[in-house]
Amino acid sequence: MSRRILSSELKDEIRRRVDIVELVSAHAALKKSGRYYKGLCPFHQEKTPSFHVDPDRGLFHCFGCGQGGDMFDFLMLTASLSFMEAAEALARRAGVQFDTSPQAQQRASEREQLLRALDAARAYFRSMLLGPAGQKARRYLDRRGVNDAVTEAFSLGYAPPGWDGLLTSLKGKGYNAGLLERTGLVQARAGGDGHFDIFRDRLIFPIADLQDRTVAFGGRALDQGEPVYLNSRETPAFSKGRTLYGLVQARDAIRERDEVLMVEGQMDVLAAHQFGFGNAVASLGTALTADHVGLLRRFATRVVLIYDSDRAGEAATERGLLLFEEGEVDARVVVLPSGEDPDECVRKRGPEAFGRLIIEALPMFDYRVQVAARRHDASTREGKIGLADEVLTVIQSVANPVRRVEYLRALAGRLDLPEDALRQRLRMRGRPGRSPRSAAASPQGELLPRGERAREEAERFLLHIMVQEPGRRVVVGKALRAETFANPVHQQLAAALISAPSVDVGALREQLDAEAAGLLMRLAFEAPPVTDHDRDRAVDGALRYLTRTEPAAVERRRVWDALQAAQAGGDEAEVRRLQAAYADLVIASKRGDSQAR
């Protein structure tokens, strides 16, 4: 649920009554440092404190891992709660009455009924596995080598082959067919003549949320049933794109090792846990999503993908790596022996060999280069060009400027090509989904030419000033429009700041996407970029650069390029016209520089 469902008055009341320093201190030792409190970040391992808490604005930010936000975000991250769950917990802490309207109670009551029905279904499936009806499923587990400890830890069950065994059992406990249909456990027959069970003659894998409540089920066919794996449909209690199988069981091991093993299926998870790899989880019959990546970031800084060694597994790995790259997560890839999946590999080769494969996992960039190298013969000129272009497509999607520089350097070394040539090729390609102009002005550090880097710095400086000194927002807004900012992230943040001169940082965050909100938090905690004495002059200089100097330079470059084209084409009249135009632009530029001084 969105935080916007909670009234602003209630949010403000909670913020007023809860001391964020006291809240955070339960997870990190804080010391006063100027206007802030500082300590070691509770979200990643570090030796030098980079975690800051601002008690006046009720915000926190870590310059090491980038996590930041308000007290709601902090509780969501540390306790793995949804926003509404965090808000309710903070309301209790503050002694603030939460939403108790009849409508809210009705929503909570319906969800609670679904969860109770799902929990009752788990008990039913479990009893079926352990009773006489479960002999077939128990034989299957024995054949697959799944031991009793894992079977119990994951509460495995069995759905017998009848059409209404679960329905009859749960109706006898007071759950009506309509409610069970909303849980995804039963389905109405054609024509409306009663209902039947969705899961029949299947090994059952209960799926739990982070509060260890049953929210859905997965079922594996024991014979030749189709599909082989069947997961519950989405319901008010369950979203495949935001849920990972085994995360509840793996949570402690993940935090201890600061690493997640991401496998493909439930049987892979069971095998990994049984052989000592208790930090393994899997997605649920759907491709990895950005929400999955965000969920994993709460618990670990590193993810190791161990997907099947077939084409489908390779494709899933490629898609997953893009998401982890975008999410700034250190992802690595285990290359399994041909034809094996994680379950088969760990059982066939043993935990020591499987552990070595994890240790030797390839960093995501190295893996993508390796995959690309299979498609291109780098010993030939055309093969080397094709390989470079394919990997540059990967580098295009990388937002972190430091990573981009390192990847370019690694590619240049791998192909024995000049790094400058690859950098120039990358600039020519631009960023996917963005215009060439916005691509050139994106924050890529060393990858930007000098003029574009100057524009980037001017934009960031003005944003910093508007965040730190709200009174400057009106001044900047009168001098330029948000659209003047070329960087899309800068443009979004500038629009929010200029349109809301008096809104504080905490409220602004809720209007922005994740990238712009992250920049806002960083600027809110960074030291002022210039001294008070130089502030006015620096603001005037940045505004002049964006509204006059840089546009004039763009026009000069345009005329110069046209002049070169005219000379190459032998059009003497056009050459003379463009030479005069270029000279006028140069004179105007010098006059402007003189006036500025």
**pLDDT digit string, tens, across residues 375-399:** 888 888 888 888 888 888 888 877 7
The answer to whether residues 300 and 257 touch, using CB atoms and an 8 Å cutoff, is yes
- Average pLDDT for 90-108: 68
Whole-number CA gyration radius for the chain: 29
Whether 63 contacts 50, CB under 8 Å: yes
User: Whole-number mean pLDDT of the chain?
Assistant: 84
For position 102, what pLDDT does the model report? 57
Within 8 A by CB and 6+ apart from 353, the residues are none
Contact 18, 75 (CB under 8 A): no
Phi, psi angles (nearest 5°) of residue 216:
-170, 180
pLDDT value at residue 431: 46
Of 226 and 356, the one with more pLDDT: 356
Helix 472-479 with 450-468: angle, nearest 10 deg: 140
- Return the minimum-mean-pLDDT range out of 75-79, 102-106, 406-410, 415-419: 102-106
449: preceding bond cis by omega (within 30 degrees): no
590 pLDDT band, cuts 50/70/90, is low
Q: How far apart are CA 437 and CA 193, in angstroms?
A: 62
Query: HSE (CB half, 13 Å, CA atoms) of 530?
Result: 19
Q: What average pLDDT does this structure show over 107-117?
A: 75
Average pLDDT over residues 93-109: 64
Of 241-250, 382-391, 426-435, the one with minimum mean pLDDT is: 426-435
Residue 172 has pLDDT above 60, yes or no: yes
pLDDT tier at 432, thresholds 50, 70, 90: very low
Write down the pLDDT at residue 44.
84
- pLDDT digit string, tens, across residues 284-325: 866 788 888 877 876 788 999 998 877 777 888 888 888 888
Proportion of the chain above pLDDT 90, given as a percent: 32
Report, as an integer, the average pLDDT of 277-286: 88
Structure tokens at 442: 């994106």
pLDDT at 298: 65
Buried-state track 184-221, b at ≥16 Cβ within 10 A, e below 16: bbbeeeeeeeebebbbbbbbbbbbbbbeebbbbbbbbe
Q: What spatial distance separates the first Cα and last Cα of the chain, rounded to whole Å?
A: 55
> In this prediction, what percent of the chain has a pLDDT beyond 70?
89
Q: What is the pLDDT of residue 309?
A: 79
Model confidence at 529: pLDDT above 90: no
Is 50 exceeded by the pLDDT of residue 448? Answer: no
